[in-house]
Amino acid sequence: MEYTHTLEPAREAPPAASLIVERLSAWYGARQALRGVSLEIAPGQVTAVIGPSGCGKSTLIRCLNRLHEVAPGTRVEGRVLLNGEDVYAPGVDPVLVRRRVGMVFQRPNPFPTMSIFDNVAAGLRLNGLASGYELERIVIHSLHQAALWEEVEHKLRQPGTALSGGQQQRLCIARALAVQPDVLLLDEPTGALDPVATLKIEELLRQLKERYTIAIVTHNMQQAARVSDYTAFLLAGEDRVGELVEYGPTGELFTNPRDPRTEAYITGRFG
Amino acid sequence: MWRGRASFDRALGGLHDEVLVLGSMVDKALERSIEALRRLDQQAARDIIHNDLTINQKRFEIEEQAIELIATQQPLARDLRTIVAVLHIIVELERIGDYAEGIAKIALLHGDQPLLKPLIDVPRMADKARDMLRRSLSAFIEHDAQAAKQIAAEDDEVDALYDQVYRELLTYMLNDPRTIDRATWLLWVAHNLERSADRVTNICERVVYEVTGRMEEMNVSKY
């Protein structure tokens, strides 16, 4: 099967979505993981979330697309406003939230039994969003957006798992983009990748932010400094509950942090 | 859990020490240049000119150390500001060294001619500039932004002395045009000292940046 359609955007690019977090707290059973986090994730920008292990970084972004509540016994308080609408309002379908707020994880996780094409098409087919020509068009466009098209255009029927780690991760990004989300969340997306594959993903994020609001959790402060426009620093206090310590433009936070705890963390004095 | 940064802290401490060494070399060069001028000691003047190469070499060494720290440690926040401050401060120090060399050259220029007049305000300018220089480096080591601002404000005293020297030398030149050469040389000396104090002001700006993260112009010289 050959795909030769000209590349067109699947839709007119709308303004990037706004995502506002208000007094967000999260629990795993009786244990509180996050307390009172408020921040406005800048539309059309990359926001990095940094902090030591156990500070609630992953929990925070999992709350943004209601993935936190998938684990048993979990609970969330506060509001997450996506383009002004609270994703936790009664009657909101979490599946729809997750479609609008896509997530990419640390380990590339293509569907093992599916081809490259079918991996990207999966979400569209599952949700009945597209079929036939339209489906092909969106898959190709998503692969282009994920900077993977040139590497896979002649092997779309091969299994996704046959790709290299970096390519698999970009395949997962293509899969997330295919359902046309407003926001892209990435949880340590380069944690399992080599430096070259890492730089490709980082370059990709810089391109994607023109159309998407992006939040990335990273352990790697240099990566946060390289890739993000804004950085949020979370830290768990003595009670092991994560709180937002500082949030601001990345350049400022990494050269002149306001809070001494941020200074101590990014200069390696603890963590 | 603490990440190991003992070796990085040692390297940063070493960088501070090297800046102090360079500062002390430059301070001595200024002191000797004024002494060589006062005594019109040609050999001392030639030594100062020769020694400037050592000062330049030291500056390059520190610069290389700083670049290596950036490349290997990826410093952030205060660490980053410290290294950036060092990179600026060593340039300022090297330029003050060049002013000392310039004064030594003026001593050589005199050849067999005596000084136009005994040096009074010129050594005062040198003492003030050197005092500011030493204290600015202490402020850097002690992360004392307040002291740095105070030192920068004292640049006005050097400027006032320069005005005084300028007016005095102008009077000499107007009264007797045959003095124009030697008066101009002394004016250059005073100008070099005035510029040295300005460079110290720049060092003070870097100290404030290192401590506060804010870039502020401290004292706009009127020259």
Sole residue written with tokens 């997450």: A80
pLDDT in tens, B30-49: 999 999 999 999 999 999 99
Q: Is B77 in Cβ contact with A267 (below 8 Å)?
A: yes
Q: How confident is the model at residue B211 (pLDDT cuts 50, 70, 90)?
A: very high
Is A12 among the domain residues? no
pLDDT at B4: 64
CATH number at residue B48: 1.20.58.220
Residues 6+ apart with CB under 8 A from A225: A231, A250, A254, B76
Measured between CA atoms, the residue of chain B closest to residue A255 is: B77
Q: How confident is the model at residue B17 (pLDDT cuts 50, 70, 90)?
A: very high
**DSSP state, residue B177:** G
Amino acid at B106: I
pLDDT in tens, B113-162: 999 999 999 999 999 999 999 999 999 999 999 999 999 999 999 999 99
pLDDT at B222: 65
A chain contacts of residue B83, beta-carbon cutoff 8 Å: none
CA–centroid distance for A248 within its chain:
19
Dihedral, A111, A117, A118, A123 alpha carbons, nearest 10 = 90
CA–CA min distance A236, chain B (Å): 13
Distance CA A32, CA A240 (A): 8
Is A209 among the domain residues? yes
Is A103 among the domain residues? yes
Would you list the DSSP string of chain A? ----PPP--SSPPPPPPPEEEEEEEEEETTEEEEEEEEEEEPTTSEEEEE-STTSSHHHHHHHHTT-GGGSTTEEEEEEEEETTEETTSTT--HHHHHHHEEEE-SS----TTSBHHHHHHHHHHHTT---HHHHHHHHHHHHHHTT-HHHHTT-TTSBGGGS-HHHHHHHHHHHHHHT--SEEEEESTTTTS-HHHHHHHHHHHHHHTTTSEEEEE-S-HHHHHHH-SEEEEEEE-TT--EEEEEEEEHHHHHHS-SSHHHHHHHTTS--
Coil, strand or helix at A63: helix
Is B45 among the domain residues? yes
Coil, strand or helix at A243: strand
A chain contacts of residue B80, beta-carbon cutoff 8 Å: 254-255
Q: Is the dihedral of CA B67, B69, B72, B78 positive or negative?
A: negative
CA–centroid distance for A126 within its chain:
21
pLDDT at A2: 52
Task: Look at B218 and A19; give whichever has higher pLDDT.
Answer: A19
CB pairs under 8 A between A and B: 39
Provide the number of structural domains found in chain A. Answer: 1
pLDDT in tens, A173-223: 999 999 999 999 999 999 988 999 899 999 999 999 989 999 999 999 999
And the tokens for B149?
């601002």
CA–CA min distance A234, chain B (Å): 16
Q: Is B76 in Cβ contact with A255 (below 8 Å)?
A: yes
Distance CA A234, CA B11 (A): 29
Domain that holds residue B66: 6-212
B169 burial level (CB within 10 Å; 0-12, 13-18, 19+): buried
Interface test with A, best of B74, B76, B79 (most A CBs within 10 A): B76
This model's pTM is above 0.90: no
Distance CA A93, CA B7 (A): 53
| Residue closest to B29 by CA, chosen among B86, B134, B88, B99 | B99
Closest CB to A255 among B2, B3, B81 = B81
In this predicted structure, the answer to whether residue B219 has a pLDDT above a threshold of 90 is no
Closest CB to A221 among B76, B81, B213 = B76
Distance CA B89, CA B60 (A): 12
**Does any CB of chain A come closer than 8 Å to the CB of residue B206?**
no
pLDDT in tens, A238-253: 999 999 999 999 999 9
Is B219 among the domain residues? no
**Does any CB of chain A come closer than 8 Å to the CB of residue B71?**
no
Distance CA A81, CA A92 (A): 12
Provide the number of structural domains found in chain B. Answer: 1
Is A4 among the domain residues? no
pLDDT at B115: 97
Closest CB to A267 among B1, B79, B212 = B79
Is B217 among the domain residues? no
Q: Is B77 in Cβ contact with A268 (below 8 Å)?
A: no
In this predicted structure, the answer to whether residue A6 has a pLDDT above a threshold of 50 is no
Q: In what order do the strands lie in the sheet with A230-236?
A: A85-86, A74-82, A19-28, A31-41, A242-249, A230-236, A46-50, A213-217, A183-187, A101-104
And the tokens for B187?
């004016």
CA–CA min distance B72, chain A (Å): 12
pLDDT at B206: 97
B chain contacts of residue A221, beta-carbon cutoff 8 Å: 76
Closest CB to B2 among A222, A255, A270 = A270
Average pLDDT, chain A: 92
pLDDT in tens, B100-113: 999 999 999 999 99
pLDDT at A134: 95
Is B38 among the domain residues? yes
Is A87 among the domain residues? yes
Measured between CA atoms, the residue of chain A closest to residue B73 is: A267
Q: Is B74 in Cβ contact with A267 (below 8 Å)?
A: no
In this predicted structure, the answer to whether residue B200 has a pLDDT above a threshold of 60 is yes
pLDDT in tens, A14-48: 678 999 999 999 999 999 999 999 999 999 999 99
B chain contacts of residue A257, beta-carbon cutoff 8 Å: 77
**Does any CB of chain B come closer than 8 Å to the CB of residue A251?**
no
B chain contacts of residue A225, beta-carbon cutoff 8 Å: 76
Distance CA A226, CA A42 (A): 17
Residues 6+ apart with CB under 8 A from A85: A92
Question: What are the φ/ψ torsions at residue A28 (nearest 5 degrees)?
Answer: -110, 105
> Residues A37-66: what's their mean pLDDT?
96
Is A94 among the domain residues? yes
Is A178 among the domain residues? yes
CATH number at residue A63: 3.40.50.300
**Does any CB of chain B come closer than 8 Å to the CB of residue A257?**
yes
**Does any CB of chain A come closer than 8 Å to the CB of residue B79?**
yes
Q: Is A267 in Cβ contact with B75 (below 8 Å)?
A: yes
Is A156 among the domain residues? yes
Coil, strand or helix at B129: helix
CA–CA min distance A188, chain B (Å): 20
Whole-complex ipTM? 0.74
Q: Is B77 in Cβ contact with A257 (below 8 Å)?
A: yes
pLDDT in tens, B47-97: 999 999 999 999 999 999 999 999 988 899 999 999 999 999 999 999 999
Amino acid at B31: E
And the tokens for A110?
């293509």
| Residue closest to B27 by CA, chosen among B73, B76, B92 | B92
Measured between CA atoms, the residue of chain B closest to residue A226 is: B74
Domain that holds residue A123: 19-266
Average pLDDT, chain B: 95
And the tokens for A84?
């002004």
User: How many DSSP H helices and E strands does chain A contain?
Assistant: 10, 10
